[in-house]
Amino acid sequence: MAVEQEAPARQAVIAPAPGRLELVRAFVNTLDIEAGTDELSSSAALATWLRERGLEGPAPSPATEAELSQAIEMREAIREVLLTHVSGQHQAASVPATSATVASGPAASTLAELRSTAVGLPTRLTITDDGTVQTMPAGQGTAYGLAALLLIAADAATTGTWERLKVCSADDCRWAFYDRSPARSGCWCSMAVCGSRAKSRAFRRRAAGHR
């Protein structure tokens, strides 16, 4: 019961990510680990989620079971990448930088999953009214939506907002949040919830060690 009460409270106090990056944050958070719920519970649910956010392209089509699996694999791979935005920052802050201690990036398996997904997603080049060249998603349905999400991530990397998108370092949470702290040092989705829990656990460990 406590989890059911705390999950909405956690969500209520977390500010959205800027602009369209919020779509990536929302995509990762379709799985609520703490509550045990998944918005992408079926191919129909995936199609609905994309449609409600304008991510199905000009020619909507039903999602297949294979596309559902692809979307979930991509979601979890992105979650692992966002976790490195926390662990990498913490390691860099606490350990002198050497070739042996510089924080590594995502695991090879995570990168392989994202690369495999990206290779199969259609994109196209377009020219805006002011002459700017942009890469846009192509195709339709799920392929269009997943391509759009990865392109949003790519754009965030160029604007400096990508590394501020993180997932909570609590193993039983992993909720995606946008770190607005000046030092980019946030590691919990909410200090009031996961941060408080982590501090309580640390206090109990220290107290047990002094007995």
Where does residue 202 rank: exposed (0-12), middle (13-18), buried (19+ CB within 10 A)? exposed
Torsion of CA 77, 81, 87, 88, to 10 degrees: 150
CA distances from 207 to 55, 192, 193, 194, 195 (A): 50, 22, 21, 20, 18
Q: How far from 34 is each of 3, 15, 86, CA to CA, in Å?
A: 7, 19, 19
Structure tokens at 134: 């942009």
Which tens digit of pLDDT belongs to each residue from 14-71? 789 999 999 999 999 999 998 999 999 999 999 999 999 999 999 889 999 999 999 9
C-beta of residue 193 within 8 angstroms of C-beta of residue 42: no
pLDDT at 126: 96
Could you tell me what percentage of the chain is helix, strand and coil, using 3-state DSSP and rounding each to the nearest 5?
A: 55, 10, 35
Two tokens, residue 80: 């692992």
Q: What's the confidence (pLDDT) of residue 60? A: 87
pLDDT of residue 9: 52
Which positions of the chain have pLDDT values less than 70? 1-13, 88-104, 191-193, 195-211
Largest CA distance in the chain: 70
Quote the tokens at residue 125. Answer: 């080049």
- Per-residue pLDDT, 1: 33
Give pLDDT, residue 184. Answer: 87
Among residues 40, 108, 84, the alpha carbon closest in space to that of 174 is found at 84
Q: For position 194, what pLDDT does the model report? A: 81
Total-model pTM: 0.83
The continuous run of DSSP H or E covering 31 comes out as: strand 31-32
